[in-house]
Amino acid sequence: MHNKTMVGEIINYVDNNRFTNESALICNKILGNTDRIDDEVVNELHARLGRAKIDVIQSCYKLIK
């Protein structure tokens, strides 16, 4: 699967499931310790996840699938 597709699905998942353990794990992995997931965090996740290494993207993707 293409990186952009995985990133898009991860962002959509986190945006639509902000209170799940998986979303918290993804945000903590990419952004560091985040207390809550809001619009600002989702936007920052989108900016940083696109620049992440493929193995990091794949590990986040596995959390949501």
Helix (H) or strand (E) holding 50: none
Q: One-letter amino acid identity for 8?
A: G
- Return the higher-pLDDT residue of 26 and 1: 26
H and E: helices and strands count for the chain = 4, 0
**Which domain, by its residues, includes 44?**
3-64
The model's confidence at residue 63, banded by pLDDT at 50, 70 and 90, is very high
The model's confidence at residue 38, banded by pLDDT at 50, 70 and 90, is very high
Q: Output the pLDDT for position 43.
A: 96
Q: Output the pLDDT for position 34.
A: 87
The model's confidence at residue 36, banded by pLDDT at 50, 70 and 90, is very high
Q: One-letter amino acid identity for 2?
A: H
The structural domain count of the chain equals 1
